[in-house]
């Protein structure tokens, strides 16, 4: 089932162009998108943007978020410091699907220098449409923040 709740997105300069394309994709898909930047190709520190999105998801202002940097690595490291955030760096559809089914990922991280735009759209679609399985996986994710 498609989750049509508003989504928050952020990137650094390395993934700025992919972020812009993803915003169009998400809006065509029917989602309201809040973009916290960056707003251009000018060099920035990915941590500043990662923290904004992770904080918003951690504090339940948004159900889900998307973060992008060149590799996706810095954004993952940043976002996963926040309580209740389960950020999943995905470069393929299988990982995107499993990150929802088993890990209830609430932030999808993409590498703008790793995936092309069409693959990114497919990963996002899979991630948005795959539910969390719950059950034993709920018990497991509940121990992450302990
Ligand atoms: C920027 O050059 C790059 O370091 C950043 O986008 C990201 O890949 C960091 O993890």
The pLDDT tens digits for 115-131 are 999 999 999 999 999 99
User: Average pLDDT in the 3-26 region?
Assistant: 96
Whole-model pTM?
Answer: 0.97
Cite the DSSP H helix spans in 3-63.
16-28, 46-58
Atom of ligand 1 nearest to the CA of 15: 6
Using the predicted structure, report yes or no on whether residue 99 has a pLDDT greater than 80.
Answer: yes
**Cα–Cα nearest to 21, from 66, 75, 53, 63:** 66
- Is the CB of 19 within 6 Å of ligand 1? no
- What pLDDT is stored for residue 4 in this prediction? 86
* Cross-strand pairs, 89: 109
User: Average pLDDT in the 5-20 region?
Assistant: 98
- Mean pLDDT over the full length of the chain: 97
Using the predicted structure, report yes or no on whether residue 3 has a pLDDT greater than 70.
Answer: no
Using the predicted structure, report yes or no on whether residue 1 has a pLDDT greater than 50.
Answer: no
Cβ neighbourhood burial of 2 (10 Å; 0-12, 13-18, 19+): exposed
Question: What would the CATH number be for the domain defined by 7-145?
Answer: 3.40.1400.10
Domain residue limits, the chain: 7-145
- Catalytic positions, written as ranges: 102
The pLDDT tens digits for 56-72 are 999 999 999 999 999 99
Q: What percent of the chain has pLDDT over 90?
A: 96
| Shortest-distance Cα residue to atom 9 of ligand 1 | 74
Give residue 94 CA to ligand 1 midpoint distance, Å.
24
């Amino acid at each position: 089932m498609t989750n049509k709740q508003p989504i928050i997105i952020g990137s650094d300069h390395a993934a700025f162009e992919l972020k812009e394309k993803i915003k169009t994709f998400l809006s065509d898909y029917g989602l309201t998108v809040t973009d916290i930047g960056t707003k251009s190709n000018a060099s920035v520190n990915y941590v500043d943007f990662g923290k904004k999105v992770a904080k918003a998801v951690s504090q339940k202002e948004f159900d889900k978020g998307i973060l992008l940097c060149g590799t996706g690595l810095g954004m993952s490291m940043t976002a996963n410091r926040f309580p209740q955030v389960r950020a999943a760096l995905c470069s393929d559809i299988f990982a995107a699907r499993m990150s929802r089914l088993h890990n209830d990922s609430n932030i999808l991280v993409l590498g703008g220098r790793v995936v092309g735009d069409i693959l990114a759209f497919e990963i996002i679609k899979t991630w948005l449409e795959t539910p969390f399985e719950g059950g034993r996986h709920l018990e497991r994710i509940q121990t992450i923040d302990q």
